[in-house]
Amino acid sequence: MAINSESGQNVLRIGMAGLGTVAQGLLTLLNQNAERITRQAGMPIEVVRIASRSRKPEIDIGDAVFDSDLESLLDDDVDVVVELIGGVDSARELISSALRQGKPIVTANKAVLASHGNDWFNGSAVLGIEASVAGGIPIMSTLKNGLSGNSVDWLVGIINGTCNYILTAMDEQGSSFTDALAKAQELGYAEADPGFDVDGVDAAQKLSLLAALAFDIPITLDDTYIEGISGVTVEDLRYARELGFRIRHVGVARRNGEKFETRVHPALISATDLIGDVSGVANAVIVGANAVGLILLVGPGAGGLPTASAVLGDLIEIARGTYSRMRIGQNEGARLPIVATESRYYLNIPAADRPGVFGEIGDILRQSGISMEGVIQKQAAVRQTDGEPWVPIVMVTGRAVEASMDDALDRLSSLESVRGRVRRIRVADFDY
């Protein structure tokens, strides 16, 4: 930290990479909340350098020196680097260089942490990561500090705002996936290329970080099951409601014997669980741990100001000299493949509308040891394909190992009376 020549005070001097939404949010907060920040940090926090490829003239950067060269942020006149450029390659180089020099760096970039975090976490320089997962929700510090004396059993997170917005819109307004996605793009909640979000990759990267902190295991996407939301229909959402559930896109990380499950997929959540009511672009994480029991955190998962709030929390801790290091990778963290995990399942089976079909389906499930807990079969829902009447048989099953369910679905699909793809969505139960 430098002594400010004018005031004679200590100042925490920030070098910021990027000048997008979060970076602008950080500049706004440093200005607007300056008094509170100075008091909390014990010194003012000032952005003295900004490196970005381009700079919109309307953005007020105060007295900061602007440069297009990221390396300028490693100069001696910068105390802490803040990485807000996103992407992997340049960010990785910047973070590596900063840490090599022993310069603290704060990042909101889950992609680079998910791919290279293992090299960085246990070093001696400070790496601030609160903003990398779930925006303004203090889930990383809750895992590394508040729950540090707990053995965490599992966590379930709604950690992709785009998916949650789309599923909520489909559920509440009956919009199709395509329409809800278009609306999300219009509102800036989804990228022009939405695959990263709706296919579950973004959530999987965040889950890999949450799991690492929760279980002291290495960060990896290997053996993580990843499924997006494009297969969920408005019909599924409606039937789920009727059965007492909502459908949300979740990340699940769970201790299972000596191994860990990490999986990202749409899931039915009981309407009586608070997390099932988390709607729109909000994020939420529920953690089950052996001392605290259950805790739930809900808040904005993205956006300039909320994400900047998390960056700023890290910067204030660094100024105070109390940023707490996380230790990860002490446990091996072998993953349990998805076929070995156990869930209840929602099934939607397009079945010929004639006597005996329900019995055939029931037999196959029974032979695989799968019970039926709730079934909906509505005569009013009869449809025609090629002149043949069929009806969706919808149910929630009892708990079953995924491999048994795969096997049962194979056998169901080969039935002459089953008239198309069986849709299957896992149920997320919190009393695992």
Map tokens 């060269």 to a residue: 69
CB 371 within 8 A of CB 397: yes
Sites for a copy of itself among residues 117-176 (CB under 8 A): 130, 136-138, 141-142, 144-151
Burial string for 239-258 (b: 16+ CB within 10 Å, else e) reads: bbeebebbbbbbbbbbbeee
Sites for a copy of itself among residues 259-278 (CB under 8 A): 274, 277-278
Beta bridge partners of 351: 391, 418
Of 250 and 315, CB closest to a copy of itself? 315
Choices 27-35, 158-166, 332-340, 408-416 (CB under 8 A): range interacting with a copy of itself: 27-35
Choices 66-74, 169-177, 313-321, 373-381 (CB under 8 A): range interacting with a copy of itself: 313-321
Q: How far is the CB of 24 from a copy of itself (least distance, A)?
A: 13
Q: How far apart are CA 85 and CA 64, in angstroms?
A: 17
* 37 lies in the binding site for a copy of itself (CB under 8 A): yes
Alpha helices in 283-334 (DSSP H): 304-320
Q: How far is the CB of 29 from a copy of itself (least distance, A)?
A: 5
Q: How far apart are CA 110 and CA 209, in angstroms?
A: 8
Choices 227-235, 286-294, 346-354, 389-397 (CB under 8 A): range interacting with a copy of itself: 286-294
Nearest CA-CA partner of 96 in 125, 76, 69: 125
CA distance to 139, 235, 326, per residue, from 145 (Å): 10, 42, 9
206 is catalytic: yes
3-class SS of residue 361:
helix
Choices 34-42, 67-75, 191-199, 399-407 (CB under 8 A): range interacting with a copy of itself: 34-42
Of 19 and 305, CB closest to a copy of itself? 305
Q: How far is the CB of 317 from a copy of itself (least distance, A)?
A: 6
CB 195 within 8 A of CB 211: no
CB 304 within 8 A of CB 24: yes
**One of 68, 330, 385, 413 touching a copy of itself (CB under 8 A):** 330
Map tokens 């149920």 to a residue: 427
Alpha helices in 142-275 (DSSP H): 161-173, 177-186, 195-198, 201-215, 234-242
Q: What is the largest distance, in Å, between two alpha-carbon atoms of the chain?
A: 88
* 3 lies in the binding site for a copy of itself (CB under 8 A): no
Nearest CA-CA partner of 413 in 368, 376, 364: 364
Of 240 and 319, CB closest to a copy of itself? 319
Q: How far is the CB of 152 from a copy of itself (least distance, A)?
A: 9
With residue 46 as reference, give the H or E element that holds it.
strand 45-51
Of 33 and 185, CB closest to a copy of itself? 33
Active-site pick, 103, 110, 144, 206: 206
Q: How far is the CB of 273 from a copy of itself (least distance, A)?
A: 9
State the number of binding residues for a copy of itself (CB under 8 A).
58
**Which residues contribute to the site for a copy of itself (CB under 8 A)?**
25, 29, 32-33, 36-37, 39-42, 130, 136-138, 141-142, 144-151, 216, 274, 277-278, 289-300, 303, 305-306, 308-310, 312-313, 315-317, 320, 322-325, 327, 330
Which residues are catalytic, by number?
Answer: 206
